């Protein structure tokens, strides 16, 4: 093998090894569910925030992006949860001890919405003054998904139990027109009442007795047809 071919092969091997390392690195990043950050405080005001490299695995943003965009940490917070996050920071700076952990949503760099748990650990100097705090951000999206699905199932169960209770109760039925009075005092046809209260579709048909009474010719023809089959 010539020197040029040998160098070419070594270059290819090096590129393949590098690609393999990058794939492995990306897989590890996807598996990361926690990262930490540190907020430095001077005279009761935040002067610096640093995020460790694992932040990209949770938020999609790198440490460099946080450094070049000072308000990225706030911009990525879901609009409806921004006040909650700001209130947590204000409570920490004011010395309140009941804001150590909150759960809120963030916009991941890929556009998806993630749930995170933000836990704070305070640092105090010899004079018992807060000079920094560490934050642990944990991706709790899988847990929140399970909780949401559980709430949906519980809601469906409650509705089902309510329907069963309604079925077991005595329904006010008109003796003549057979309409049912609902809980608001309105009278509805039986089929309309069932559709509105039990999420069921009604398929209209005729029982043999009504068919014989209202459509005697059709009933007779159907009767003869079934008689022939026997």
Residues 38 and 90 in one domain: yes
Residues 55 and 118 in one domain: yes
Using the 3D structure, point to which of 143, 165, 181 is the last residue of a domain.
143
Q: Is residue 104 one of the residues assigned to a domain?
A: yes
Q: How confident is the model over 91-144, as pLDDT tens digits?
A: 998 887 766 899 999 999 999 999 999 999 899 988 889 999 999 999 999 888
Q: Is residue 119 one of the residues assigned to a domain?
A: yes
CATH code for position 104: 3.30.450.20
Q: Is residue 192 one of the residues assigned to a domain?
A: no
Q: What pLDDT does residue 222 have?
A: 75
Q: What pLDDT does residue 161 have?
A: 74
Q: How many CB atoms lie within 10 A of CB 166?
A: 14
Residues 41 and 18 in one domain: no
Residues 22 and 104 in one domain: no
Q: Is residue 22 one of the residues assigned to a domain?
A: yes
Which residues fall within 8 angstroms of residue 198, CB to CB, at 6 or more apart? Answer: 163, 166
Residues 39 and 136 in one domain: yes
Q: Is residue 15 one of the residues assigned to a domain?
A: yes
DSSP 151-162: HHHHHHHHHHHH
Report DSSP state, residue 97: S
Range of the domain at 3: 1-31
Residues 20 and 58 in one domain: no
Band (7; pLDDT cuts 50, 70, 90): low
Q: Is residue 19 one of the residues assigned to a domain?
A: yes
Residues 26 and 120 in one domain: no
User: Rounded to an integer, what distance in angstroms lies between the CA atom of residue 21 and that of residue 159?
Assistant: 53
Q: What is the pTM of this model?
A: 0.57
Which of 55-69, 89-103, 143-157, 167-181 shows the lowest per-residue confidence on average (mean pLDDT)? 167-181
At residue 29, does pLDDT exceed 50? no
Q: What pLDDT does residue 105 have?
A: 96
Structure tokens at 97: 């001890």
Which of 25-29, 66-70, 110-114, 139-143 shows the lowest per-residue confidence on average (mean pLDDT)? 25-29
Q: How many domains does the chain have?
A: 2
Band (193; pLDDT cuts 50, 70, 90): confident
Residues 18 and 60 in one domain: no
């Amino acid at each position: 093998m010539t020197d040029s071919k040998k160098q070419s092969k070594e270059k290819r091997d090096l590129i393949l090894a590098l690609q393999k390392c990058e794939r492995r690195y990306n897989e590890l990043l996807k598996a990361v569910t926690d990262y930490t950050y540190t907020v430095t405080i001077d005279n009761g005001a935040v002067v610096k925030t640093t995020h460790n490299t694992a932040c990209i695995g949770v938020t999609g943003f790198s440490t460099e992006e946080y450094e070049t965009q000072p308000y990225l940490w706030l911009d990525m917070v879901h609009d409806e949860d921004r006040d909650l996050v700001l209130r947590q920071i204000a409570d920490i700076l004011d010395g309140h001890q009941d804001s150590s952990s909150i759960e809120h949503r963030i916009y991941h760099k890929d556009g998806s919405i993630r749930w995170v748990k933000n836990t704070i650990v305070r640092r105090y100097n010899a004079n018992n003054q807060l000079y920094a705090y560490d934050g642990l951000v944990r991706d709790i999206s899988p847990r929140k998904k399970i909780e949401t699905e559980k709430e949906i199932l519980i809601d469906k169960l409650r509705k089902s139990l309510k329907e069963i209770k309604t079925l077991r109760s005595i329904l006010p039925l008109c003796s003549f027109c057979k309409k049912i009075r609902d809980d608001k005092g309105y009278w509805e046809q039986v089929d309309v009442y069932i559709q509105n209260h039990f999420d069921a579709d009604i398929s209209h048909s005729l029982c043999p007795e009504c068919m014989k009474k209202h459509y005697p010719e059709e009933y007779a023809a159907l009767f003869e047809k079934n008689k022939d089959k026997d």
